[in-house]
């Protein structure tokens, strides 16, 4: 996995990244995500993909839903390009 320009390799690095992102909180932090279909269109430097991706905060009722739907695909993988 790659985040913020650096590679995250192995379980120890994944745990450290999670601790940093969630400010030391452990267990369920109340976030869920749903991945849907991908529409991938070729471009001159790789491809552009539109995805149906929802991030939900389930700590409140009804849950807050945040759509994140524009990604770009290049030699590094999928990169969020817009919201």
Domain chopping of the chain, boundaries: 2-82
Confidence (pLDDT) at 61: 93
Count Cβ neighbours within 10 Å for each residue of 8-38 and write b for 16 or more, e otherwise.
eeeeeeeeeeeeeeeeeeeeeeeeeeeeeee
Query: Model pTM greater than 0.85?
Result: no
The mean of the pLDDT values for the chain is: 77
Q: What is the mean pLDDT of residues 26-54?
A: 80
Tens digit of each residue's pLDDT (9 = 90 or more) over 53-81:
788 899 999 999 887 665 666 666 666 55
Helix, strand, coil in percent for the chain, rounding step 5? 15, 55, 35
Instruction: Report whether pLDDT(1) > 60.
Output: no
Q: Which residue has the higher pLDDT, 8 or 52?
A: 8
């Amino acid at each position: 996995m790659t985040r913020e320009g650096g590679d995250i390799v192995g379980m120890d690095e994944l745990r450290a990244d999670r601790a940093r992102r969630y400010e030391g909180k452990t267990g369920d932090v109340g976030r869920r995500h749903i991945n849907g279909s991908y529409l991938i269109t070729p471009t001159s430097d790789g491809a552009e993909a539109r995805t149906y991706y929802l991030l939900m905060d389930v700590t409140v009722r009804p849950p807050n839903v945040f759509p994140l739907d524009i990604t770009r695909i290049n030699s590094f993988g999928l990169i969020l390009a817009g919201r």
